[in-house]
Amino acid sequence: MNSIVSEKTYISQKLGVNYEDLSQSYLRSEVALTTQSVIEFTLQENKKATSLVTERLLGLSDQFVITHFTVGLKRIAADAPTDLQQLTAPVLTYDNKTAFAGTNGANVAAIYNSDLSFTINRKVFIPQFPVRAFRRVPKTQTAENAGYTSSGVDTEDSFESGLFGFYPSEPTVIDGGQTLDLKIDLGSSVEMDDASNAYYAATVTGTPSANRQYKFDDIPNLSRNNIMLYGIEAFTAAQLTKDSDGADIIAAADSLGVTVVLKDNNNTEFIYKMPYSNLVRSNNGGFVILLEPKIINLTSCYIQVNDALGLADGDKAIFNFYYDSV
């Protein structure tokens, strides 16, 4: 079994995401280096007025599973680089002395003695990660970085593997509707720009991307394939504002981006991606949705968020089941 299949299988089992919904992709965010003490990366399209042609940011309804990440550097010999110059500039894995030869360019090395932090919806995912963990000096280097000099020798940096410079991460889901704060703290103000040059810090995350699925809770009296389901209804905040534990209920407008999948005791999907809003009684003239009676496998059932809209971390989807014990 190759590593990609193994990774997708693990993510599917750990995060409850359908294997078929996972595909390899990446995010890339870049920041121009000037004089700064903190380098803040923007990961979402709606949070950045103008993106660089080389950036790959999250759309509002996108979801992403982080599996690897890195921080690299980029140099372009122009104050206002064109799209073509951006596209042809390589992302470097270390403070290359040939690329960063200017008076202040050499100061980019300070990045590798700093800390990276990542907060997701105000919850700290990475508190302080050493950026030096991403620094990779290749075996073959450009001439001024080599340990020898020889007239006529023209070498370029080697790239040892596809994940050269990347560091693995615990698989973690992020989406375009969350509050994402990713930054490098230099600890002090550092001047890193030179005339006629543009320097950038770039962060890249590699991952399979997905539409996130959330499985139903394990309820002891209902989760043993011991109930015959014949009716179901769903609630939004218009009918029920809080769950019994105080959590917010999904808003009516946000429910439009959610679908429901129900499975029977043979693991057959007898309800497949029904719009959550279709199950709300007020949308059906007050009627409960009646079903052909099925023994339900509750812990295999799930909702899928196809469009995050205004959903917040911790929002609950609430259902009422009509059933007979078997």
pLDDT score, position 211 = 60
Between residues 124 and 220, which one has the greater pLDDT? Answer: 124
Between residues 228 and 299, which one has the greater pLDDT? Answer: 228
Express each pLDDT in 180-197 by its tens digit: 999 999 999 999 988 878
How far is residue 125's CA from residue 174's CA, in Å, rounded to a whole number? 11
User: CA Rg, the chain, in Å?
Assistant: 25
DSSP for 256-273, please give it. Answer: GGEEEEEEBTT--EEEEE
Average pLDDT, the chain: 85
Overall average pLDDT of the 160-167 stretch: 76
pLDDT score, position 144 = 55
Express each pLDDT in 190-226 by its tens digit: 999 888 788 888 887 876 555 667 778 778 777 777 8
Whether residue 314 contacts residue 229, with contact meaning beta carbons closer than 8 Å, is answered with no
